[in-house]
Structure 1
Amino acid sequence: MKTQNGAIVFTAAMIFVPLVASAGGGYEQARIYSRSPNSLHVEGFVDKDKKVKDFNIVNNKIDGKTYGKKIKGKSTNQCFRDAPLEQPKTERFGHVNSPETPDGYNQVIAWLSITNDGTGNGSVEVRSMEIWGKDQNGNIFLVSDDLFCKKDDCQASNLVWGSMLQDKAYWSNPAAWALRCANGDTNLETCGNNPVNPLIFDLQWNRPAHGLFAIPTVIFPTSQYPDQVFHPWLAVWDDEPDSRRSNAEPGVQYAVRVIAKVNGSGRLQAGLDYWAPPGTTPYCKPLDQYSDHCEGAVSNWQCESDGWVTIIAGAPGIVRP
């Protein structure tokens, strides 16, 4: 056992616990803090039913009750403990709500949440983001990789499409994530034929001038915006697309793959949403409400990486190597 940033890094075999540590949850994803030499506080324990629980362990008793079952070989996930505290607990760990298109939805989109842990130096460099599909015959195919604008007249201001959460304190407020027009209007229908990209800050475009296999990347300077969240997503960059989202077919499973490099205090999470036809609001089970969009999957948070890493959001076996 050792302490790190006020939290205890330990193996779960050191204590008696009442719940099975499931994949994408359990002690692997919890924040665990030392309260005294004989007590721990566990925050964000996710059980097999995806219920989030907080509890105290004192002298091997959980909230005053003694349990006799051990879980061995599990350890806490440092990056989960460093996930933004403003984010709802149920969204801090990787999970899959809908591996295939839910009833009533016909579009799919991949997104990123990129932020900074505190005020330390950090950045996130993204090389690619892709949506992959797997049909009922087991065929795997690329759906979209349009993170960057691919038209000849693209400028730095419309490099990627997305929005910006201006204050992480409002993470749970959907209205705080809304797009904005150039004139400040919140109704995108009044923006005209050229709605502005709401990522209006200067993104760093890292495209080598020479090299046969030069790969463009975009760098998100997270430490310059420690209180905000960059929220880019894949878009259809046709001149006049019917929709800026890719089509989602019934019975097809989808997953997102992101290749990125996380530096310093930067943090990255990927996700997948389904969207309904305009003017419709089917029932979205994960949200427990009728909505025009429905969360399909999210990844675990990615902390500082040693070079390029791959982040997956979605069920395994969908993305082609």
Structure 2
Amino acid sequence: MRILSLKSADGLDAVSLDSTALPEPGAGEVRVAIRAASLNHRELWITRGQYPGMSLPATLGCDGAGVIEAVGAGVDPGQIGRQVVLYPGLNWGDDARYPAAAFGLLGMPGPGTLGDAIIVPAASAVDKPAHLNFAAAAALPLGVLTAWRGLVTKAGLLAGEKLLITGIGGGVATFALKIAVAMGVEVFVTSGSDETLEKAKALGAKAGFNYKDESWRKALGKTSGGIDVVFDGAPAASYPAYGRALNMGARVVIYGSTGGMNFSVGAPELFLKNIRIIGTNVGNLEEFKAAIAFVAEKKIEPVIDRSFSLDEAKAALAYLEQGHAFGKVVVGI
């Protein structure tokens, strides 16, 4: 079978489409014939050696959807033929609050989705939402799970609240917008592109602010009347701009560190308003099932920027690296 392989951390030049033997599932496992996968910036970090716990060679990709084609001992053979979307995590552990030390993702240290087939625990193969094709389903896993855990589990976002999503356009932020709009939340977004802001408004954002215009600091508070929840992947640049617009009891969820590792917060600003700053990353299997069920119930459609074939997967990574503007990059297999 074909796999998109990385043999050394030397950037995209080290990525190649190789052949390997078709793996057989062990006890409690299934083999899924991948029909589509999608890319995350995580794959780019891995190619550069900028990812913790690097172990090479590796098959890239943690997002995928396909059909169960073989099962291991202890798994019902009736599972064969199920159309599934894959939980991107491995070994979360017993504490729902945070992952165990052994937690990892598909595509490093686990097997990757950018290939013809993959072996995963049977429980990780979740029914594909019926309204989505394989390409759309493959766009879901890491992005929708991260957004769901941040907004629902961590922030406790409620219908009618006001949410700020910084840096709209990326996969996680776009899923956060889709989920929040479906929940009946009033959403405000930021971007450095007016075109991207218009796309976000077409998806249900009430207003958008170009963070290159320093006046957005005052405009956010005036337009929103105050923010209840922030979903922020770039707090170093963003927090100083929106801090004063936070309502009493606001929750600030941090899921990334784009643009800088550190940011300053005034202590009185926190304790006088009872503001919580909350870190989050990925999510457990139960959260993934809940997120996929919500996508199915609300008929949420992922935003797909561009599709490539597996033969073009290296070009797809190059396209992602060049800074595509909005939605997910998908690889059909």
TM-score (norm 2): 0.28
**Greater fraction of residues in strand:** 1
- Structure whose CA Rg is larger: 1
**Greater fraction of residues in helix:** 2
